[in-house]
Amino acid sequence: MNDLAKGQTRRLDSTSSNADNSACYERFPYARAAPSMYLAYSLLFLVVAVLGSPYFLYRALRRGAPAGSIRQRLGLLPISLNLDSEPSIWIHAVSVGEVLSVRPLAAALRQRYPSLRLYVSTTTVTGQQVARQTLQQEVDGVFYFPLDVVFIVRRVLDALRPKLLLLVENEIWPHLLRECRRRGVKALIVNGRISERSFPRYRLGRPFFRRVLGDVDRFCMQGEESARRVIAMGADPSRVTVTGSLKFDAVAGADPHLRGRGRVLRFLRTAPERVVVVAGSTMAGEDLPVLRAFRRVKAAFPDALLIVAPRHAERFDEVVRLAMNEGFSTVRRTELPIDAAPRADVVVLDTIGELAQVYQLATVAFVGGSLVETGGHNVLEPAVHARPIVFGPHMSNFAEIAQAFMSNRAAVQVASSRELEEGLLELVADPVRRASLGAAAKALVDANRGALDRTLDAVVQVLPPVRSATIHPFRVVH
């Protein structure tokens, strides 16, 4: 079993990580970034923002972003968010996957730091929706992440007064980190990863990024390869820790009945013997190959059902049309009657946050974003239900996890649409292999729990907790 599956924490060298800021700058003088580099970054950011604003605005509106999100991205948070200017912890989780992965961490931070308010920001509309649905018991407020412009960042820091900033996965924002360092705010990258696709771009900007990374107090990386990459970008090795992926803890600890999360299954009352193919988080360019692969499955198993979950809400209508054009009787999940078996060939999951529970219905699960070059999606959600998993060749966003699954014979990787057809059909027809793959996938999830505890250890080292009985109500920012 590889290092990821062993689930062990590994410091990249023995140098103490508790040195104060001045000691850090003495040992790493590059941590004081040249003003000219930040000026160049600001100008480039401004150019991209101005030229790209029509597209970004169109995309945001198309995905249902409220008008208030624009104000929040400009740093104009409501006064009610932190009316008494109390100190806080700020977690930034870009989208749905990141939000779900940090839910156990948010709950643990609430217990460990009861005297600090707890906030979560997201970048995407769907991430915002899921954060509001799933984090009400853990956090004091949810808002949209601000633009990385100095005066905007300062507004948000003034409003939140954070003691600790946690950036999830690969969120590296130079001005935000620099301002946190100036104010004495501790900053951590948690569940960190540097993908194979993004690494060359970071390497090109190494003279700048090594200065930016000097403002991060600890890097909690998902695996050895990501740890090596962040060091190659210029991170202080003594601050890099391999903690494993929080996603293992998030899915392993998920309660399907919590706040009605299992309710979706009442709309999908499938018989145990019915073949169900679940295609999760599909991206543009994948739905037709999935539908055509399902056609072959249905030829062998006439009662088979396909549940397809597009990654983005704006594609729901498109996928419905594609399925109908392919000759399948198609229905949306929101059109299904409760406590009845779907009579259609294809169900389009036109909801947010239900896919993780729907996976437990799968005879075979295909994880999308992997047939096209978008980097793949979370294979752990079907794995926790011991479902056999198929994914395509493009898994750069989950490279270490995907490699662990392949090394442990816990998934099937296909190289093309044609192989997807063959792979789905073979698995549906082979219950013994399905059971073997599912059991190996579930065992891998169970074996790799522990990233939460290791991440908390890193947090406590940079910000020792002070006990208090203060409890704050949840506040959603509109």
DSSP letters spanning 9-37: -EESS-S-S---HHHHHHH-GGGS--HHH
- Tens-digit pLDDT profile for residues 338-367: 999 999 999 999 998 899 999 999 999 999
- Tens-digit pLDDT profile for residues 128-150: 999 998 998 899 999 999 999 99
Q: What is the pLDDT of residue 7?
A: 41
Residue 258 confidence class, pLDDT cut points 50, 70, 90: very low
- Tens-digit pLDDT profile for residues 237-247: 999 999 999 99
Burial label for 273, CB within 10 Å (0-12, 13-18, 19+), is exposed
Q: What is the pLDDT of residue 101?
A: 93
Residue 39 has pLDDT above 90, yes or no: no
Residue 8 has pLDDT above 70, yes or no: no
Q: Which of 86, 98, 171, 422 is catalytic?
A: 98
Residue 52 has pLDDT above 90, yes or no: no
| Residue 158, number of CB atoms within 10 A of its CB | 13
Provide the whole-model pTM.
0.82
Residue 205 confidence class, pLDDT cut points 50, 70, 90: confident
Residue 31 has pLDDT above 90, yes or no: no
Q: What is the pLDDT of residue 253?
A: 60
DSSP letters spanning 85-105: ---EEEEE--SHHHHHHHHHH
Domains defined along the chain, listed by start: 3-244+450-471 (3.40.50.11720), 260-447 (3.40.50.2000)
Residue 262 has pLDDT above 50, yes or no: yes
Residue 12 has pLDDT above 70, yes or no: no
The H or E element spanning position 161 is none
Residue 375 confidence class, pLDDT cut points 50, 70, 90: very high
Structure tokens, 298: 């249905």
Specify the DSSP class assigned to residue 437: H
Catalytic site includes residue 169 = no
Handedness of CA 24, 219, 105, 8 (dihedral sign): negative
Of all residues in the chain, what percent carry a pLDDT higher than 90? 72
Structure tokens, 388: 């056999």
Distances in whole angstroms, Cα of residue 104 to Cα of each of 101, 108, 448, 462? 7, 6, 15, 20
